[in-house]
Chain A
Amino acid sequence: MKVHIKYYAKYRDTIGKREEDLEVEEMTVKSLLDLLRGKYPSLGGDKTSLLALNNKFQRDETKLSDGDTVSVFPPVSGG
């Protein structure tokens, strides 16, 4: 199935793209994040990346569906 991934904030620079479509097996939000960390080491540097599925934050075990949009945000700490 196909999922649409959108990258935000510093990930746009470190990964070098704003969005992409990925062909993936059936998987959970957590396993998608693991897959992306393997593909893009710069994501792995953050212990916590925030993932929204169709503009709603989802728990790790939520299963992806064909056509889902997944948004990936880094944690931000400055003030």
Chain B
Amino acid sequence: MVMDRYLSQIAVKEIFPAGQKVIESSSIVVVGVGGIGSAVAEMLVRMGIKNITIVDDDLIENSNLNRQAMFKESDIGLKKVDVARAELLRIDEEISINVIDQKLSFYNAEDILSQADIIMDGTDNYNARNVLNVVSFNLKKPWIFSAVEGTYGYVKAIIPGRTSCLSCFGYPDKGEGISCTIQGVIPSAVRAIASIAVTTAVKVLLEKEMTGDLLYLDVWKPSLEIMSIPRNDSCKVCGERRL
């Protein structure tokens, strides 16, 4: 049954022939199981990721249901990681899934991220992304930055030692940001950014993404911009001349 599951994606020349094996043997950590994180986790498990860790300490609320994959009315009040775990196992009962019912912080990040081949950013604030940026750099783990609000969002691959990092271009390193419920976000933008994040992750795993360009997508206009972000020698996280 599982054998033919991936035939259609293996037929894509960017994945064929060896890519599927790489996907299936990769370990992934999804930090934050909200709009982007839940869609990313679901897509990656459907594509054949067998080893996944999900990190979130939130409960499911009614206001999540317009955009967050896997969650349903009957799940309101339950822990996101518990429901996501059950749903991901319904998609593929052979996955190995590790659930962390915590917020990512400098206290737990090294433990949580150290086994990952790639880390997916499903967070919704500057503090957590700063933890991801600093700890991933120290561990030499690639991660995919993704963020969304309104009708637009960003995606960028961050590969320590090769690309620029989040701090190289001055992304804020502290603050809670403004939550999606208050700021406003269109569900289709969340899914579009999640789709690009998943594609970028697969490219990094297959060593076909080395640039670390910042992609900006607005689903309403619609428009797509790609900006190169050179490494910053003086970057306080990854710069070679950092103090």
Chain A interface helix/strand/loop/mixed: loop
Interface residues of A, count at CB 8 A: 18
CB contact list, A25-79 vs B, under 8 A: 47-48, 50, 52, 55-57, 59, 71, 73, 75-79
Taking a contact as CB atoms closer than 8 A, the residue among A48, A71, A73, A78 that contacts B124 in the complex is A78
CA distance A52 to B183 in the complex (A): 24
Chain B interface helix/strand/loop/mixed: mixed
Report the contact-size class of chain B (Cβ under 8 Å from the partner).
Answer: 35 or more
Q: Is A9 an interface residue (CB 8 A)?
A: yes
A10: which B residues are within 8 A, CB to CB? 149-150
B227 touches A71 (CB 8 A): yes
B178 touches A79 (CB 8 A): no
B125 touches A77 (CB 8 A): yes
Q: Give B227's nearest chain A residue, CB to CB.
A: A52
Instruction: Fill in one digit per residue for B128-143: 1 if any A CB lies within 8 Å of its CB, else 0.
Output: 0100000000000000
B170 touches A50 (CB 8 A): yes
A77 touches B230 (CB 8 A): no
Q: Is B99 an interface residue (CB 8 A)?
A: no
B32: which A residues are within 8 A, CB to CB? 79
Contact status of A78 and B226, CB under 8 A, knowing A50-B169, A57-B169: no
B228 touches A56 (CB 8 A): yes
Contact status of A47 and B172, CB under 8 A, knowing A79-B147, A79-B148: yes
A8 touches B216 (CB 8 A): yes
B178 touches A77 (CB 8 A): yes
Instruction: Fill in one digit per residue for B35-49: 1 if any A CB lies within 8 Å of its CB, else 0.
Output: 111000000000000
B171: which A residues are within 8 A, CB to CB? 48, 50, 75
A79 touches B180 (CB 8 A): yes
Q: Is B179 an interface residue (CB 8 A)?
A: yes
B153: which A residues are within 8 A, CB to CB? 76, 78
Chain B contacts to A: CB under 8 angstroms: 32, 34-37, 121-126, 129, 146-150, 152-154, 164, 168-172, 175-180, 183, 185, 214, 216, 218, 225-230, 232, 234
